[in-house]
Structures are given as C-alpha cells and as structure tokens.
Amino acid sequence: MTGEYTISVEVPAVDDYCRLRRVAGLTPRSEKAATAGLPNTVIGVVIRHGAEVVGMGRVMGDGLCYQVVDIAVEPDHQARGLGKAIMSALMAELRQIAPAEAYVSLIADGDAKHLYAQYGFEPTAPKSIGMAQWIGR
C-alpha cells in the first residue's frame, strides 16, 4: 500500500459498505440490512484514497468466536496491497482483544484463499466444511 492511501480502524458507513460490496463483486446488501448489521461490528477497517473510501473489512464476534467478513476493494484500486493492509490491520486489532482460545474463521472465495493463508488461515476440510443458508431466497 502506497502513501496515497490511509487506513483507519472504524466501521464503514452504510452507503460506503453497500457500494463497496456491489462494485467488488460481493453479494449486494440492502441499506436496511447494513443499518442493522454494521453496529454489531467488533473491528472495522476502512481504506481511503483522498476522501473516498475504496476498501474495507470487518470482524464480527462474541469473544469466543470471530468471523472475518466483507473484505472489499474497489476494482480500480485492486492489486496494490490494499487487501493485505486490511487483513493486517484486522488481525492486529483482533490479537489485541481476542482471548488465546478464540476461534477465528472466514469464507475464502476463489484465489482469496492465498491472501488469507498469509495470515495463518488454513482450510478446514475434510475434517469440517463450511455450510450456509440464505434466509428468504
């Protein structure tokens, strides 16, 4: 990440969150859902290019289990180390607040598994597999 970017530990604003998810190719979220969910963020990270938010990431959790979610970078700003900067900041903050026995998980889409492996994440299969369900679909 170059000096033209700034990173801060904060929860993304609803409009930035919804926009970044959409442009980064993540499943879109409604403003209503984002407004309900974002206050439950344990750790949030935002990257700015000037005044514009171009990247984000979050951690959700309860003190025993945590999940890394919403890692998103605008396409025009990808391949510049922003994903690594987001993960580094999230993991540094998580190591400050989480107890030693905390379980941290994430879902890696495609080649993102290579980024997450740099931070100690390993596939859980075949011992366990991730499962999911969309409510209302």
| 124 domain-assigned | no
Count of structural domains within the chain:
1
Parallel/antiparallel/unpaired status of strands 5-9 and 43-49: antiparallel
Range of the domain at 54: 5-117
Given a contact cutoff of 8 angstroms between Cβ atoms, the answer to whether 31 and 18 are in contact is: yes
Domain with 95 in it: what CATH number?
3.40.630.30
| 23 domain-assigned | yes
> pLDDT tens across 61-107, in order?
999 999 999 999 999 999 999 999 999 999 999 999 999 999 999 99
Which pTM value belongs to this model? 0.93
Query: What is the mean pLDDT of the segment spanning 33-58?
Result: 97
- Buried b / exposed e across 21-35, counting CB within 10 Å, b at 16+? beebeeeebeeeebe
pLDDT at 58 over 80: yes
> pLDDT tens across 98-131, in order?
999 999 999 998 899 999 999 999 999 899 988 8
Q: How far apart are CA 57 and CA 42, in angstroms?
A: 11
